[in-house]
Structure 1
Amino acid sequence: MKNSVLTTEDGNANETSAEFSVVEEPDVTAPRGFRAAGVHCGVRRKRLDLGLIVCDVPAVTAAVYTTNTFQAAPLKVTQSSLQVDGKMQAIVVNSGNANACTGVEGEQDAYRMQAEAARVIGIPPHYVGVASTGVIGERLPMDKISKGIQELKPQKDISASDDFCQSILTTDTCVKKVHVTVKVDGVDVQVAGAAKGSGMIQPNMATMLGFITTDAVIEPSALEHLLRSTTDATYNMIAVDGDTSTNDMVIAMASGLAGHQALHEGHPDWAAFATAFHYVNEQLAKAIARDGEGATKLIEVRVTGAASCEMARQTAKAVIGSNLVKTAVFGADPNWGRIICAVGYSDVPVQPDNVDIAIGGIPVVRRSFPVDYDEAKVAEAMKHDPVVIDVDLHQGKEEATAWGCDLTYDYVRINSSYRT
């Protein structure tokens, strides 16, 4: 479809000029070659807590990881394994325990998860990636996880996909999944994704895991570059609470079973595929921001008129990360002073007499000076989801968007009793 209004899973309509279609029932197993499973193994009390994605063939794979100095053991295992030949065939994931700051023993546990999953699937261990999410500083209950791995029976259907999506959640209130189809060389190519994330969310990823599956044929370097550039514009542009986790990872696997000519930046359909890929990741990132712990509203900060892309991104992230802005949104208080304050401390060379601000489409500041506006109308606009804040720097043509959520009483309640 071209120049169409697409309706996403959250019900929002979005204009797009890309030739792709959004699938109403997202399924990470829809791309050719993929299967999935999720079970309860006992890391958590009741909820599904162990998941698996399997590809029928070694898939071209790219990954990005947290910038936190204390990288969790599963990330180290996955990074090391992916360096062997740039391919993976499976990802095993547990929730409820991060296996972070667990020393040599934790790394051994991660390798054991990898080895046992590889044995069950019947593939070399280095073709299995490992991911964990949950409480930091506690050893994995490996007897429970080992038993659970034996029970994982990956299937290619929507219920198996949903079980996987459920198994990776922690404080999330809902699953996060997106799925599109796009034409490449006349062939329908699937791009699907699932993610988790709700707290410890800060630009340069978040306490989040993302899993992207596609049956596209794509050159390894092209997939790696596409994932990194997409991450910079999506997952690295969300914030909930200012904390960056030890376990963040996004991994993209391409089975190549669609059978078209290999995608690269010179391919005639590269732009269409790249846009579809970006859309999947942007929707996942927005879903994570909207589901921030205790959140009631998504906040979208759109910065225009920047002298550089980095200037736009840094300004947007400063505003979206401001606790004062977030609490003002929660209270529907049109306190634009908090917004311009965040712009001013964003460490970019902003011209202090040249900034425009609008809240919910209503101008409140022009050239850094307040304008007459109906405060009641702005307050009413701030009661709706999403709350859109526009900032025009009037210094260039670059722009960027960041996403976050309001900061509520429930955020404190959830995190004051996270382990209990």
Structure 2
Amino acid sequence: MRLLKSHPFLKLFNAYLIDHSQPSNINYLWNFGSLLGVCLGVQLVTGITLAMHYNPSVLEAFNSVEHIMRDVENGWLIRYLHSNTASAFFFLVYLHIGRGLYYGSYRAPRTMAWVIGTIILILMIGTGFLGYVLPYGQMSLWGATVITNLISAIPWIGQDIVEFVWGGFSVNNATLNRFFALHYLLPFILVALVLAHLIAVHESAGASNPLGVPSYYDRIPFAPYYLFKDLITIFIFFYVLSIFVFFMPNALGDSDNYIPANPMQTPAAIVPEWYLLPFYAILRSIPNKLLGVVAMLFAILIIMILPATDLGRTKGLQFRPLSKIAFYVFVTNFLILMQLGAKHVETPFIEFGQLSTALYFAYFLVITPLISIIENTLVDLNLKTNS
């Protein structure tokens, strides 16, 4: 025990995972952080293993993935773990962000942790996109072509940047090599950002709590109670992940990506992975290419504006009924955008996409501050009436 508190490395481990005090009333919604850490660990181990057998060449990439699946000892298991954990990673991140939105985790003193978390989300999206290109199936090729072509919307220099990213005039060997190198490197940068995120949470008095009130006194050490509480959800996570890996490993993928890439044949519909569909729907809902790209990027960055636009006097939405309704409308709208992102660009999906996009941005810029002011006014009126 003395070693845990004196050794330079073990002292940090002890401070974060054993002795660090947490509010006594936090529930299972606070377990997403540990689950995301498990996902990151699985992705690192399986990704490094896959990289040992992958060949980033337009002629061999698809065949090397098939080689992993058929010839490498347990290669199929490693690849399915990697691809399905990527989906689980994003699913848990969206739940983690949703919990943060509901309980006001973006409010001071945790604003820095919220900003770092937003940067992590952007990096995850970039890493996920790069990984989707690597198998070099039909959807990989055309997804890479369409998404990288969005950069050409930048005035004057856009097309030059696209050709620099490609390493030529189309997606080719240089493109795959660059994407593979970045896909391998970015997760380690992600680890550094996750550590920064944890430090920011730790330095801001630890986790928030469901009541949204300061909890300086009613606190308990992280171990053993919260350690075992995390283990329960980790076991459930691996159970659900196993169902996908062993019984329906391709349920979340696109069948076109099991066809070798063909530059001469465009797929009927170019659809990204499910976790990118809401932002893809926002991109497609705006006719102007440049404005669409700006809106897509702003759709991610806009969550950083919440510390300024949430004017409510209480932290979180637990005691704010109007804000609760607005939050659930926002979540429903986000799921609608996810559905619209997979649809063809045609009536009525275009119009629905534009309405959903307007509602998405209005939640952060108009609805949240307006409802906050209304709720504050109602509280003041109630206090005056009671006094």
- TM more than 0.5: no
TM-score (norm 1): 0.27
In terms of Rg, which structure is larger? 2
Structure with the bigger percentage of helix? 2
